[in-house]
Structure 1
Amino acid sequence: MRAVRSVGVMQNDTEQLNTVAQWAVSLMESLGGPGAGLAIALENLFPPLPSEIILPLAGFTASRGTFGLAEVLLWTTLGSVVGAVVLYALGAWFGRDRLRWIVARVPLMRVADVDRAEAWFARHGAKAVFVDRMIPLFRSLISIPAGIERMPLGRFTLLTTAGSAIWNTVFVLAGYVLGENWGLVEQYADILQKVVIVTVVIAVVGFVVVRLRRDARRRMGA
């Protein structure tokens, strides 16, 4: 595991690796390619673990000969699928009835919102599962509504594999090509994540404002 030890040396010399990267290095040092897959599976279950760090780091270690590039792509994609299927199962267990029960008791929410979401997912669910695998935050979250709506598991797995393979390949190859400069990938990925977060916040605020105004008009008209 000479290449992974070299990562540790780089860590001591330049302090470029944060806690998450150290943890990922430890997994890959202990388990090799499967360690990278395990890290990505856990990243799917716990989104605060950033794939934008783990994947380029895996690519870097592959460039140093710790394991093959094809091997790390295979294991990380498998890890993505395993994590997504676990969340799908969670959504399937949670089910529509529990979702409706909760939504009916959440301020500003309506059961009709669930109906509209279900209708949207029926039309665009396959596209959403594929595309969202390449969007920060939504990479994990999309698996839960897919489970709630009981998308056929084979179809879900195929779409998840395709989307995950693209996302993983881009980041692993970036780390592989950049070598010791793999950390540059995180900087640009962080910008993308911030854009997504800001967009989600704006959408939520917009929804709340519109719903409050609508409810106020209804009360005035009553």
Structure 2
Amino acid sequence: MLRQQLAANAGSGEELSGIAGWAVDIMTALGPIGVAVTIFLENAWPPIPSEIILPLAGFTAAQGSFTVAEAIIWATVGSVLGAWMLYGLGRVFGHDRLVAIAEKLPLVRGADISKTTDWFNRHGSKAVFFGRMLPIFRSLISIPAGLEKMNFVLFSALTLAGSLIWNSIFVGAGYLLGENWEAIGPWADVLQYVVIAVVVVIIVWWVVKRILENRNTPTEENP
């Protein structure tokens, strides 16, 4: 069984388990199409880390189950299909509905959505392209693109290009590292932690700023 072979090559007496074992089972059953399936699910559910699945696909390719080119191509197919699904959800949900919900949330204003919209309209192409190469944002960037009805062909082309770069790096690394494919994990974790830290800092700054603004805004006195 492939997962036993991978564990043996990695010098472990135990079979792979968790997400790695799950991904191997899908790749074993479906071949390179299994890579597309796992990456599609990673887009739909961001907690599934592509930083594990892609190097594992590269290592699996190194064992001769399929070629590294097939792994990259099918991973990119899965990435685009997953992005299309989230884009569609954003488009169905719509900008106006998001503004209406924002108005009902504490510390949030409809103007905040408008500012975000303006930013996305100015930088949306770069956000989609480079967002495909950042943990967490890889999946989530598709939603605002749908909300703002970004041109579908442009969105698809940028998603394809960004995903192809990301997938090639991680699949290729897994292929070249062979039995040491897991060594990619710590480096990918560092990138993810940096992204999370930046997001947390921005959120904390925004919340503090909004609280101070609300405190400094005079309230109307009841007659």
TM-score bracket for this pair, using the shorter chain length: over 0.9
For 1:65, what is the secondary structure of its paired residue? coil
Q: More displaced, 2-11 or 117-126? A: 2-11
Q: Tell me the residue number matched to 2:160.
A: 161
Question: What RMSD in Å do the two structures reach over aligned CA positions?
Answer: 1.8
Identity of aligned residues (%): 50
Total equivalences in the alignment: 221
CA distance in 2, matches of 1:120, 1:129: 13
**Is contact 1:4-1:61 (8 Å) kept?**
no
Q: Tell me the residue number matched to 1:32.
A: 31
CA distance in 1, matches of 2:11, 2:19: 15
Q: Tell me the residue number matched to 1:47.
A: 46
**Is contact 2:89-2:143 (8 Å) kept?**
yes
2:110 is aligned with 1:111: yes
Q: Tell me the residue number matched to 1:187.
A: 186
CA distance in 1, matches of 2:63, 2:206: 49
Unaligned ranges ≥5, structure 1: none
Q: Tell me the residue number matched to 1:177.
A: 176
Q: CA deviation at 1:140?
A: 0.4
CA distance in 2, matches of 1:39, 1:9: 23
Give the 3 Å change call, closer, same or farther, for CA 11–24 of structure 1 in structure 2.
farther
Q: CA deviation at 1:152?
A: 1.0
2:141 is aligned with 1:142: yes
CA distance in 1, matches of 2:62, 2:22: 19
**Is contact 1:126-1:156 (8 Å) kept?**
yes
CA distance in 2, matches of 1:210, 1:133: 29
CA distance in 2, matches of 1:146, 1:133: 12
Q: CA deviation at 1:6?
A: 1.2
2:46 is aligned with 1:67: no
Q: CA deviation at 1:7?
A: 1.5
CA distance in 2, matches of 1:16, 1:218: 61
Q: TM-score, normalised by structure 1?
A: 0.95
CA distance in 1, matches of 2:101, 2:3: 47
Moved over 6 A (4+): none
Q: TM-score, normalised by structure 2?
A: 0.94
Q: CA deviation at 1:17?
A: 3.5
**Is contact 2:10-2:180 (8 Å) kept?**
no
Residues 207-218 of structure 1 aligned to structure 2 (within 5 Å) = 207-218=206-217
Q: Tell me the residue number matched to 2:204.
A: 205
**Is contact 2:3-2:16 (8 Å) kept?**
no
CA distance in 1, matches of 2:13, 2:192: 25
**Is contact 2:83-2:159 (8 Å) kept?**
yes
CA distance in 2, matches of 1:159, 1:35: 24
CA distance in 2, matches of 1:15, 1:47: 27
